[in-house]
Amino acid sequence: MSSHESRKESPPPAKKEKKPSLISRLKAKISKVIGLGKKKKASAKTATEKGEHPKAARDAMFPEAAREHAAKERSPRQEGKPREPRREREHRPERTERREGDGNREGSKPQGERSGGERSSSDRRPERGGDRRGGGGGGGAGGRGRGPQRLANEEREVRPTTRFAAEAAPPPPPVPEGPYPEEFEALGLSPAVLASVRDLGYGSPTEIQSKAIPVILEGKDVVGASQTGTGKTAAFGLPTLTRLGAPGGIRCLILEPTRELAAQVVEAFEKLGKHTGIRTLLVHGGVGYGKQREGIEKGVDILVATPGRLLDFMGDGTLSLDTIEVVILDEVDRMLDMGFLPDVQRIVEKTPKSRQTLFFSATMPPQIKSLADWALKDPVSIEIGLRFSPAETVSHYLYPVAGDQREELLLSILKSTHFTSVMIFTRTKVQADKLYANLQSMGEYTCAIMHGDIPQRDREKALKAFREGQCEVIVATDLAARGLDISGVTHVINYCVPDNPEDYVHRIGRTGRAQKEGDAFTLFAADEMKQVEAIETLIKRKIERRKQPDFKYTYTTILEDESHARSVMRTGKSSVRRRR
């Protein structure tokens, strides 16, 4: 019996059970590494029951998992708090119904219950952090897509009301004493504005200025049309600055179709209002919101903006137009061409009905009448010269050419023409890029390029270099054709005939400004004769045709008989195109 018992309880089998000592050794090593002993495990169980340390409890209950993740657990356990959002993520599937019922903004309460109330003072912050990683409240693919955008919108709604404090309007600076330019003084402008006029060297007002300034000073609505280069910006800027007087709140809104035009108007107003203390702010897309938002909230008198960015600030609560006294729509025809009419209407609707509204543009097509009837009250119409006429100081010439020789002819014209600065307009961005690259490779001219795909900062650098004479040639699309005030442009070359005849007026309006003479050359092929006819009909004049001396032309019908070429294009359009 004793021998049987000793056989039963013999030590060798017990030793064999201990034989897989690798596990026990690993357990011992893991315990030493992560600092877990029997007492720790016991405390972990107690902690799990209390709901205080779910991580330690899990390690105690599942040693194999602890062994697999020991290396990963080492540093996070020392940090403690950064690991907590991950625990929430692991338990999230069990609480999906609860989170959906609570909603995104109320989710902080369940979180506080899970963490024993540790984060009750900062419920929102962990909730937003959780949404950012997990994809929004409620779980699911849709929440993931919407979460970051919703958070961005929430931040944008909060930030405008708390970020920047409004500053008191500065007192107006002392006004320099007279005498002032007599002809401008007779129009009724304030001494502060007249001092700026004198500083700028203006001797007498242009026709659009002498007719528009008195009407605007009376507070009447105006529709002003005049050729480019006749001083339209000063025509509405001088009386507006006079009416605003000293700095106050935001009272004037000027809408421009492009960033370049908006920047140009801001520059002009800063010069014209130098002695008034009036604050002017530029707001446009393509750059960050921060500085523009800060300028609006700190306080501004005149806001010059493009429609899209302005609507952004109106939508997020940064800007209210309740105090606007004057609304100026500059280059109205361009805004209509670019499809801004719905945006303009939304903006104007948010301004007081008692406002003064001014429309100014180089051309006034019939489509503008419906907008004017809606936005203006008994406006005074001021038109200088023909409605679609270019400046009389510009000479016009047409150069017929075969389509495949267009660039070759352009380079020949540049070589034989004495110019100080020339603007070359293309129909497309691809044409502009190719022509610019070829001019650069020649190395004979300093060049710049400007179109919609060029970053805003580079476009500004290109314009500045061209204005300051650092570049002789600028290649551009119609982006630069509207309203840009670049003095000293001696020649404008249309690489292609513009599809819209009004664009021709705007393009050649870059030269012959301020009563200075300029030349406008237009290259045209047989398939562009319809556009040529439309331009001549619009400006009510026949444009002289020219041929470049010593240029080896490829034969084309329009070189010899334009009327025959026109009939060929009408009857055999496809065959002519195949030969090209």
Buried b (16+ CB within 10 A) or exposed e, 396-426: bebbbbbbebbbbbbebbbeeeebebbbbbb
Predicted pLDDT of residue 22: 72
Predicted pLDDT of residue 515: 56
C-alpha to C-alpha distance for 429 and 452, rounded to whole angstroms: 8
pLDDT-derived band at 67 (thresholds 50, 70, 90) equals low
Among the residue ranges 112-126, 218-232, 296-310, the one predicted with the least confidence is 112-126
Quickly tell me which residue has 């030349």 as its tokens: 519
The whole-number average pLDDT for the span 245-273 is 92
Among the residue ranges 12-21, 200-209, 412-421, 445-454, the one predicted with the least confidence is 12-21
Predicted pLDDT of residue 384: 81
Closest CA to 484 of 453, 507, 501, 515: 507
Count of alpha carbons within 13 angstroms of residue 273, beta-carbon side: 27
Predicted pLDDT of residue 569: 63
Predicted pLDDT of residue 338: 79
Choice between 522 and 6, residue whose per-residue pLDDT is larger: 522
Predicted pLDDT of residue 95: 42
pLDDT-derived band at 231 (thresholds 50, 70, 90) equals confident
Residues of the chain with pLDDT > 90, as a percent, come to 36
Tally of CB atoms within 10 A around 329: 27
pLDDT-derived band at 1 (thresholds 50, 70, 90) equals very low
Q: Biggest alpha carbon distance in the chain?
A: 137
pLDDT-derived band at 80 (thresholds 50, 70, 90) equals very low
pLDDT-derived band at 477 (thresholds 50, 70, 90) equals confident
Is residue 94 predicted with pLDDT exceeding 80? no
Average pLDDT of the chain to the nearest whole number: 75
515-531 pLDDT, tens per residue? Answer: 567 889 999 998 888 89
Is residue 400 predicted with pLDDT exceeding 80? yes
Yes or no: say if 484 and 330 are a contact pair by the CB < 8 Å rule.
Answer: no
Predicted pLDDT of residue 120: 37
First CA to last CA distance, the chain: 118
Buried b (16+ CB within 10 A) or exposed e, 109-137: ebbbebbeeebeeebeebbbebbeebbbb
The whole-number average pLDDT for the span 388-412 is 84
State phi, psi for 359 to the nearest 5 degrees: -110, 130
Yes or no: say if 535 and 497 are a contact pair by the CB < 8 Å rule.
Answer: yes
Count of alpha carbons within 13 angstroms of residue 92, beta-carbon side: 21
Complete domains list, the chain, with CATH: 21-79 (no CATH), 84-162 (no CATH), 182-383 (3.40.50.300), 394-579 (3.40.50.300)
Among the residue ranges 148-157, 232-241, 335-344, the one predicted with the least confidence is 148-157
C-alpha to C-alpha distance for 121 and 123, rounded to whole angstroms: 6
Q: How far is C-alpha 486 from the geometric centre of its chain's CA atoms?
A: 22
Q: Is 166 left (phi over 0), alpha (psi -120 to 50) or beta?
A: beta
Is residue 6 predicted with pLDDT exceeding 60? no
Predicted pLDDT of residue 467: 83
**Which residues neighbour 535 within 8 Å (Cβ) at sequence distance 6 or greater?**
497, 498, 501, 504, 543
C-alpha to C-alpha distance for 266 and 258, rounded to whole angstroms: 13
Is residue 32 predicted with pLDDT exceeding 80? no
Give the 3-state secondary structure percentages of the chain, helix then strand then coil, rounded to 5.
55, 10, 35
Yes or no: say if 269 and 236 are a contact pair by the CB < 8 Å rule.
Answer: no
Predicted pLDDT of residue 454: 85
Is residue 576 predicted with pLDDT exceeding 50? no
**Which residues neighbour 83 within 8 Å (Cβ) at sequence distance 6 or greater?**
55, 76, 77
Residues of the chain with pLDDT > 70, as a percent, come to 66
Report CA-CA distances (Å) from 148 to 152, 153, 167, 442: 6, 9, 33, 50
Predicted pLDDT of residue 52: 45
pLDDT-derived band at 398 (thresholds 50, 70, 90) equals very high
Predicted pLDDT of residue 366: 72
315-331 pLDDT, tens per residue? Answer: 999 999 999 999 999 98
Is residue 184 predicted with pLDDT exceeding 80? yes
Among the residue ranges 148-152, 191-195, 267-271, 331-335, the one predicted with the least confidence is 148-152
Question: Residue 110 carries which side chain, given as an amino acid letter?
Answer: P
Is residue 342 predicted with pLDDT exceeding 80? yes
Is residue 36 predicted with pLDDT exceeding 60? no
Is residue 538 predicted with pLDDT exceeding 90? no
Predicted pLDDT of residue 361: 81
Is residue 16 predicted with pLDDT exceeding 80? no
Yes or no: say if 307 and 338 are a contact pair by the CB < 8 Å rule.
Answer: no
Is residue 401 predicted with pLDDT exceeding 50? yes
State phi, psi for 478 to the nearest 5 degrees: -65, -5
402-430 pLDDT, tens per residue? Answer: 888 999 999 999 999 888 889 999 988 99
